[in-house]
Structures are given as C-alpha cells and as structure tokens.
Structure 1
Amino acid sequence: MSKPRPKGLLARLQDDETVICAEGYLFEFERRGYLQAGGYVPEVVIEHPELVEGLHREFVHAGSDVVLAFTYYAHREKMRIIGREADLEKINRTALRLARKVADDTGTLMAGNICNLNIYDQADPSWEGRAHAMFKEQLEWIMEEGGCDFILAETFFAYAEAKLALECVRKYAKGIPVVVSFNLKRGDDLIDGVLIQDALRRLAEAGADVVGLNCGRGPATTLPVLEEAKQNGIETPLAFVPVPYRTDAENPNFMTLKDVNDNGKIAFPLDLDPWLCSRSQIASYTRKAHALGVRFMGICCGNASHFTRAMAEALGRQPPASRYTADMSKHAYYGTDPTLIDFNTQEVCKNKF
C-alpha cells in the first residue's frame, strides 16, 4: 500500500527543514557494469529496470528524502550519439514510472529531471530552438506521467541554457517547484561569460525556487561559492550537491584531476578513486553547509549509499541504514567491549599491527 504523500519541497524549505536528494546514478551504474562511461546514457533504465528501482530504494534506505527519476542524459542529443533515439520516450516514461513507484511506496518526494544538453553554442543561436524542443518533450512526458513534486534542472555550464530550462519548466510544467544548478569549471564564470554569482542571482530573481551548484566541484570547492552567494544577499534557498572527490584550488573541478602515478594523465572518469572523500569528510562538509544555511543537499557523480548515509547522520538523522552504522566497540582488536579478549596481552598478537 502506498504511503500518504509527503510534505512538499517548498513547505519543508519554508520550515527551515533540510532536504537530501541522492544523485550519482550514472557513475554508480557504470561502476556496477550496466552503463558505459563516455556516452553516459541511462540505457539501464530499459535494459534492467529492476536495478534502477533497487538503487532508488537503496538511496532512500540510506537517508534520501527524494527519489530522482533517472532521466539525466536521457535526451535527444545523447540518444542520437549512441543511435537509440527510437528508445527516447520509452526511457523517459519508464524512469518516471520507476521513480513514482518507489516514492509512493516509501513516502518520499519524487523529482523529475532535465539537464545540460551539450549543444549550447554562443556563435550559433540556432541551439536555443533545438534546446527548447528537447526540454519541452521531456517536461511533457513528466506531466503526462502524473507530474512530480519538483523538477531538478541541473549541471548547466552556461547561464543561457539554465535560464532557458527554467523558462521551459514554467511553461510546460506549470506550478511545479524547480531547483536549478550549475556545474562550475575552473574560474568564476560560466562558459557564456556570466559570472556564477550573477547567474545565481538572476535565476533567483527569475523565480527559481532553489539555486546552486551540482556535480563538477567537490565539497571543498563548492562551499565557498555558496558562502559568497550568502554574503551577496541571495535569499533563495541554495543547493549543495558536490561530487564526493577532494578537489582543490588548483583543480576545483574533478574533470581535471590527474593520476599522479601515470605521468599526469587526466583521471576522469575511471581513475578518480584515489581522490574520493572519506565518509567523515562528507559528514564534515555537510555540517558546514548546514551551518551556512543550506537546506537542499545531495551528492552527485561518485555518490554511493554510504555517502548518503553519512550526510543524513551528519544532520542528526537515523535512516534505516543507520542500523548498520559502524560500532567499533565490538571489533576484535580495536573494540572496547569488556567481554572481548584483550589481545594486547596475548603473546601471539604482540607487535602484530
């Protein structure tokens, strides 16, 4: 039996509640062997829908308040590249139905998703008409499948594309709240020359319900941008959805991190493991973001359930997965439980570690 519909996104934000939206489906399914790096098209949605449903449930189990429909990169341009345009509508509708099923079963919010189209061309204005058509068809499928609690429009490298996405949501998904977020590369400006702080302010003024950053930057290089936004007086709720990698001032975006053991080869996307954050680091940055006043959070590419649980627990929550949170007091060698044998006094274990 489906659970009652949950409190909405805007009501939660107005009540100063924090909403966790787990992301990272592309990277996770690539790691599991069901999605190809490079194209990053979510073919798994129609090839193994049971796995997508399972990951939705896993993220909710770990503490996500939102089931995000896996339609990231399920747009006409990406489907064209891999020769599967005929499956475009099927992927979108299937992903929406899977997300709705899990959201209804678990009493969580369900979000629709549109994203960067990778066709923005400052020198050729014809990109805008093509982009409009692609946003329109995805948004119409969302509405035809029963709508959603909010729409996540994300990973935009250009202000112009983000602005168009917001306009399309307002036109084709009327009345549905929208979160709009950018993928910021090395500098302070987007690829169309608009400074990130100006872009956030303009989107807020244009009616976006939440604005911020997702993907690209890790926690350490995402948070300062949001701190500046707060200092600049942006009152619209902010989104903190970094990748779980240790980016820094030299490489603020994970796409330029280099493999130090392979002559400086770019590590993205397959050799990023050495730069993964620890769970404690994710928890620490979650607390910092919350102290700043950020109330929409998640983790993007590279996310896994243990990171989502770390984020939830850093906010003082105990999701179902917390039943299995580490308890080192029971550990054979490091434990403090009085019933454990004290191996430190045993000759056989002296100097073992």
Structure 2
Amino acid sequence: MERNNDSKMVKGLMERLNDGEHVIIAEGFVFYFERMGYLQAGSWVPEVVLNHPDKVKSLYREFVDAGSDVVLAFTYYATREKTRLIGKEDTLEQLNKNALKMAREVADEKGVLMAGNICNTNIYQPGKKDREDEIKGMFKEMIEWSVEAGADFILAETYAHLGEALLAVEAIKEHGKGLPAVVTFAPFVTATKNGKAITADKVLLTEACKQVKEAGADVVGLNCGRGPNTMLPLMKDIMKVCPGPFAAIPVPYRTCDKEPTFFMLTDPVTGKKVFPTETEVCSCSREDFSDFGKQCKDLGIQFVGVCCGNRHYYTRSLAEALGRKPASTTFSPDMTKHYVYGSDAKVRKDVSEESMDLYHTLRDI
C-alpha cells in the first residue's frame, strides 16, 4: 500500500500489477491543450500550467473521472531545453512544481496514484558525452522535484533512442528514492532490421525493451507514434523476448500498414499530411479503444492508456472494456432513450414514429 488518503490506503503501482490488475493512465495533454488554444504546436511547452492552472487541474479530474488510475503530472516537455527554446528557462522550476503539486492534490482528492514524468529531450546524440551529461542533469532535477512532490512512480516516455532511455532508467534509479520506473519507447522509426522494428540508434525494439528492463525498469513498453492497429503487433514481438509487466499507450488515430505512424497519416479527402493540427480527420472511434482494451486484456498487457489526441471518451471506453465503471460511465451513451431510436417504455411512441418518418423523408431528399 502506498499513500494514506482520507483514512484509505491507495494501492501501489507494482502491487496492483503483481496482483494481476490493470492500471489505466491518461496522457496526451499537449495535444489536448493545443486544441483548446492554450499551448503552441511546434514548441509544445506546457505554459498552460502557469498561465491557466485551473484548466490543468480540471483536466486531471476529468481523466480520473473517465477511468484513469493515475494523475500524470503535466511536465511533458517542461524541460530546461524546451523552456530555453522559448526564452522562459527561468519558469522551469515553478512550472514543474506547480504541475506536480496540482497532480498530487487531485490524486489525493480522487484516491488514485500520481506519477512524475520525464520524456525525450530531443538533444540526444549517440556517443556525445557532453549531451549525455546535459540530459542527465535535466532528468535529475525533474525526478528530484517529483520525489519532493510525493510522486508514486516515475513515467519515462517517448524515447526513440535506446541510449536516452537507458539514461532515464539510470537517473530514476539514482535520484528516484526507490520509486518504480515505467519506461516506454516511441516507435517512430519505420525502418526495420530483418523485418523487425528498430530504435533510432538501430537497435531492435525487442532488444531495447529487454535492455531497459535489465537496467532496472519495472514496466516496459511503447507509447505515442502509433495507433492501436500498428502498436499491438510490435507489443506482441516485445512480449516474446522480454519479461513484463508491459505498457501500451497508443495515439488515438487509425494508423495502418501503409501509414504506421501518425506523422505519416494523410487526409482521406485531400491526401495532405495531417500532422500535427489536422489529425482529427484520422481519429479512432470509441469502439476502436474498446477493442484495444479487450486485446490488451487477452494479451496480458496491464499498463494501458491513450497518448496524444486523448479525450475523456477514449479513456472511458478503455476503462469500460476492462470491466470498469468510472464516474463518467453515468453519462455513457444510452440510445434506448433517444426520441427516434429509443426502446425505453417512457419514450413517446407516437412522437417516435412521427420522428422516424421525418428522418426517412429528410434522408431521401
């Protein structure tokens, strides 16, 4: 058991996974706030944490009500490199601490876990010692802030390079005060080695997960880049050679063999590339994530979620597929009460029949 919350003990991450439970995590906050008009596509720095903290706290609550077992602190791209890019490095510490503080408050309020977050830095270069030292410094301060804020575990995510993922594991083990480490690769690379997926530093993805696990990661897997259809086949390969528990956190887009990542998706009408601001035209359905949840359950993937492009209904569909009834299930669709299609006895049949006639008339015009 982890943390006392109003006299209730919140079950820890590894205890849940060791007991065979699923842990759902809602991600994708940068896309969420970009679409709301509070975050800039391109730099993707989460300035909304400082500018509109009430909206961030509301988002945390929204996803827990939709079924997330974790409040993930919104520190994705809240790195020294990213804030330097927009000339606001002096806001870095406050941005991280505010995001973590609000995440801890909502997690305690809702009786769920809170995770600190470190991610890809975009400056990693294999063999560059000075870059590695710089990255280690960025990871160190963010992990220490997470520990200080009372995080229950650290999520290290979206690594294209094995080398950077190993730096993340090393930093968590050194500075994380024993917190569990969930480490996920972003399967952005579409090139292969002998037909198998590789990382950006040309290591088999299966081998990369195995090495990260051996380095001390508690949970390994994939996040971002690919939708359910093109992520799950990679997960199956990883699970053949690497010990679990496993994580799968796809983006909510209908990627396919021809366009396996959301960077490659094209508008089915215009043929134009849709990343990053037109991706909605390739969105998954709620049923897609219900199916994803069922497949993860069958495969034994326990740590599951939704990445860039997430909305509450995706997380809710995933939760319901795993047998949950989160708070927002109260408002899941119930077409039995629809004025045209409804079968509920309280639906006025005369109105329903007349409405159906009107529907068919309009459809045929």
Deviations 1:141-182 (A, max 9, x none): 12233x311100000010000000000000011210010001
Query: Is 1:153 the equivalent of 2:162?
Result: no
Query: Is 1:199 the equivalent of 2:199?
Result: no
Contact 2:267 2:282 in 1 (8 A): no
Deviations 1:111-154 (A, max 9, x none): 00000000012363321111111111111212233x31110000
Q: Rate the CA distance shift 1:350–1:261 in 2: closer, same or farther, 3 A.
A: closer
Query: Is 1:184 the equivalent of 2:226?
Result: no
Contact 1:344 1:350 in 2 (8 A): no
**Structure 1 CA distance, aligned partners of 2:122 and 2:231?**
22
Equivalent position of 1:231 in the other structure: 240
Contact 2:173 2:216 in 1 (8 A): no
Matches within 5 A, 1:1-353: 2-3=5-6, 4-122=8-126, 124-145=128-149, 147-185=150-188, 186-187=190-191, 188-232=197-241, 234-262=242-270, 264-340=271-347, 341-342=349-350, 343-344=352-353, 351-353=361-363
Q: After the TM superposition, which of the residue ranges 3-12 and 15-24 deviates more from structure 2?
A: 3-12
**Structure 1 CA distance, aligned partners of 2:105 and 2:90?**
24
**Structure 2 CA distance, aligned partners of 1:222 and 1:261?**
25
Misfit runs of 4+, over 6 Å: none
Q: After the TM superposition, which of the residue ranges 49-58 and 123-132 deviates more from structure 2?
A: 123-132
Q: Give 1:261 shift.
A: 3.7
**Structure 1 CA distance, aligned partners of 2:358 and 2:267?**
41
**Structure 1 CA distance, aligned partners of 2:16 and 2:266?**
40
Contact 1:5 1:104 in 2 (8 A): no
The one-letter code of the counterpart of 1:351 is T
**Structure 1 CA distance, aligned partners of 2:304 and 2:272?**
31
**Structure 2 CA distance, aligned partners of 1:30 and 1:91?**
17
What secondary structure sits across from 1:164 in the alignment?
Answer: helix
The one-letter code of the counterpart of 1:275 is C
Contact 1:244 1:276 in 2 (8 A): yes
Q: Compute the TM-score of the two structures, normalised by the length of structure 2.
A: 0.92
Q: After the TM superposition, which of the residue ranges 268-277 and 331-340 deviates more from structure 2?
A: 331-340
Q: Give 1:345 shift.
A: 6.1
Contact 1:180 1:208 in 2 (8 A): yes
Where does structure 1 lack aligned partners over 5 or more consecutive residues?
none
Identity %, equivalent residues: 49
Deviations 1:180-223 (A, max 9, x none): 00111213111111110000111112221100000111001111
**Structure 2 CA distance, aligned partners of 1:164 and 1:283?**
35
**Structure 1 CA distance, aligned partners of 2:127 and 2:216?**
28
**Structure 2 CA distance, aligned partners of 1:351 and 1:107?**
51
What secondary structure sits across from 2:297 in the alignment?
Answer: helix
What secondary structure sits across from 1:21 in the alignment?
Answer: strand
**Structure 1 CA distance, aligned partners of 2:267 and 2:246?**
32
Q: Give 1:344 shift.
A: 3.7
Q: Rate the CA distance shift 1:12–1:275 in 2: closer, same or farther, 3 A.
A: same
Q: Rate the CA distance shift 1:179–1:338 in 2: closer, same or farther, 3 A.
A: same
Deviations 1:305-352 (A, max 9, x none): 111100100011101100001110010111112343254467655534
**Structure 2 CA distance, aligned partners of 1:125 and 1:161?**
12
Deviations 1:22-50 (A, max 9, x none): 11111111111111111110000011111
**Structure 1 CA distance, aligned partners of 2:74 and 2:354?**
54
Q: Rate the CA distance shift 1:339–1:174 in 2: closer, same or farther, 3 A.
A: closer
Q: After the TM superposition, which of the residue ranges 80-89 and 331-340 deviates more from structure 2?
A: 331-340
The one-letter code of the counterpart of 1:308 is T
Where does structure 2 lack aligned partners over 5 or more consecutive residues?
192-196
Instruction: Give the total of aligned pairs.
Output: 350
Q: Compute the TM-score of the two structures, normalised by the length of structure 1.
A: 0.96
Q: Give 1:5 shift.
A: 3.8
Q: After the TM superposition, which of the residue ranges 183-192 and 324-333 deviates more from structure 2?
A: 183-192
**Structure 1 CA distance, aligned partners of 2:201 and 2:36?**
35
What secondary structure sits across from 2:155 in the alignment?
Answer: strand
The one-letter code of the counterpart of 1:38 is G
RMSD: 1.6
What secondary structure sits across from 1:254 in the alignment?
Answer: coil
Q: Give 1:20 shift.
A: 0.3
- Between 1 and 2, higher relative CO (CA 8 Å, sep ≥ 6) is seen in 1
